[in-house]
A and B are shown apart, each in its own frame.
Chain A
């Protein structure tokens, strides 16, 4: 073996490593991925999602890694998760099944007026749509970006995959980031829009809800939603089915699987797949940065919409609502409701708003899915 052969072999080995094609963009993405892992591990912000998303971003941003492409005629590992989980719109629906199995609709059934707050909180979704179009996005892209304000991860993923799959990574990341940052983002808006007198309003205790009512609720909800916005039935149908399993009490094993093992499995696939879409070449452009900015405005306007709806309702109803619970009209269950509880107790430690805030919180899930349905019907 000559010296040239040895050098040639060595160069061949070096060429198969990622070193010759490594660039600064990968480093930037490591910082982005690392940032999300830091938020998840050190700050405990939505760790179930931000940790796999952060690691997904990190692991795909190496040159030549066989994760999100195709080789030997088949998809690579994360591409398989992405293709069957997200492109086929399976994961968001299965997550909704698990969420339904975890949810108690009692507070919403006891106070159905809370539904209106959930609808009012969609204000930001429609306002941001306009801003996004002005920023140069297409109408479909604008719809997918504007749903971020609804602070509902699975709905954002579902709608984005349906209308603008090229924006899936940034949209999902923005939605989950802002959901994680609810405790930081919402309190200043609440304080800005409510007076001290309003914050001190004590709400009457909610009536007890019978098991029969809880069993009927998912069936009634599916009937109305399937008739009026059929395009979101894959999401809300699964949500209500999960809830029916829970409330019926006859399929405890299935309920346990849906809210436990199944939910955990799809959460891993969702996080990794979303993170894996954030390759440096796609992410380091003006669009994702703009999406993060627009998403923040969107989320703030949705919070404003919820609070204002609660304040407007107070003009027409005898028993006043504490407008703080309007902030829970964005989904982010149950984090937004907890923020309302904390804010309320800052002014009156005996004021328990948690159960009252859960009503608008759950209404926000239905409201944002209805808004997504309105957008899908606009384009399909």
Chain B
């Protein structure tokens, strides 16, 4: 009976140790698993650089499988790499998987979620709003100037046609041009 009790206790302790040590044994970075069999090139608090013999597609498939249950994950396919970005509140911000192999290996970089990225993108986008508005402003000013000039000329021509001589017509057009330039100055 005693032996059975000891055996039971030992089994419980071993089971608990197994359960709680598993996450510690599985290598990860900010909650993301490291590519199996990869070589860590640089590991800091903000980023993890690694190299792997797996191809670009295999690495992307690996992370797609890992992240399949997460919402707000966006994958961006670029010319030289694929960037998987998190738009929720996870600890990591992006995984960049290179397409070209360096020394026969694919480079994978995981970056920590950072305020610098959020501030950077917000400032750029705020400037972007100004850029859109400035383009509209410039186009409106040009269109406005062209249209009002042509309207003034037309009106001047009509007025001159009413009065008769070519000389008077030239004077009317010159007056219209002066009026237009005054308007633009104001």
Beyond A119-B133, A224-B136, 7 additional contacts (C-beta under 8 Å) are A126-B122, A129-B118, A204-B186, A213-B144, A370-B132, A371-B129, A374-B129
A-B pairs, top 3 by smallest CB distance, nearest first, are A374-B125, A119-B133, A139-B87
Bound Cα distance from A126 to B124, whole angstroms: 10
Known A119-B130, A375-B125, A378-B125: A113·B136 in contact at CB below 8 Å: no
Quick one: closest B residue to A117, CB to CB? Answer: B133
With beta carbons under 8 angstroms apart, the residue of B88, B89, B122, B139 that contacts A224 is: B139
Task: For the complex formed, measure the closest distance between the CB of B176 and the CB atoms of chain A, giving whole angstroms.
Answer: 14
Bound Cα distance from A216 to B130, whole angstroms: 22
Which residues from B are CB-within-8-Å of A221?
136, 140
Q: B88 contacts A139, CB within 8 Å?
A: yes
Bound Cα distance from A197 to B138, whole angstroms: 31
- Interface residue total, chain B, C-beta cutoff 8 A: 32
User: B133-170 toward A: CB 8 Å interface, digit per residue (1/0)?
Assistant: 11111011101100110010000000000000000000
With beta carbons under 8 angstroms apart, the residue of B119, B121, B133, B139 that contacts A367 is: B133
Q: A112 contacts B147, CB within 8 Å?
A: no
**Which residues from 191 to 231 on chain A have a C-beta closer than 8 Å to any C-beta of chain B?**
204, 207, 210, 212-213, 216-217, 220-221, 223-225, 228-229
Q: A112 contacts B140, CB within 8 Å?
A: yes
Known A210-B151, A217-B140, A221-B136: A138·B122 in contact at CB below 8 Å: no
Which residues from A are CB-within-8-Å of B121?
378
Which residues from B are CB-within-8-Å of A207?
183, 186
Task: For the complex formed, measure the closest distance between the CB of B20 and the CB atoms of chain A, giving whole angstroms.
Answer: 28
Which residues from A are CB-within-8-Å of B134?
115-116
Which residues from B are CB-within-8-Å of A118?
133
Q: A115 contacts B72, CB within 8 Å?
A: no
Q: B126 contacts A112, CB within 8 Å?
A: no
Bound Cα distance from A200 to B148, whole angstroms: 32
With beta carbons under 8 angstroms apart, the residue of A113, A210, A217, A379 that contacts B87 is: A379
Task: For the complex formed, measure the closest distance between the CB of A164 and the CB atoms of chain B, giving whole angstroms.
Answer: 10
Bound Cα distance from A371 to B119, whole angstroms: 15
User: A104-136 toward B: CB 8 Å interface, digit per residue (1/0)?
Assistant: 000001001101101100110010011001001
Q: A130 contacts B137, CB within 8 Å?
A: no
Which residues from A are CB-within-8-Å of B122?
126, 129-130
Quick one: closest A residue to B136, CB to CB? Answer: A224
Q: A370 contacts B72, CB within 8 Å?
A: no
Task: For the complex formed, measure the closest distance between the CB of B42 and the CB atoms of chain A, giving whole angstroms.
Answer: 27
Say yes or no: is A140 at the interface (Cβ < 8 Å to chain B): yes
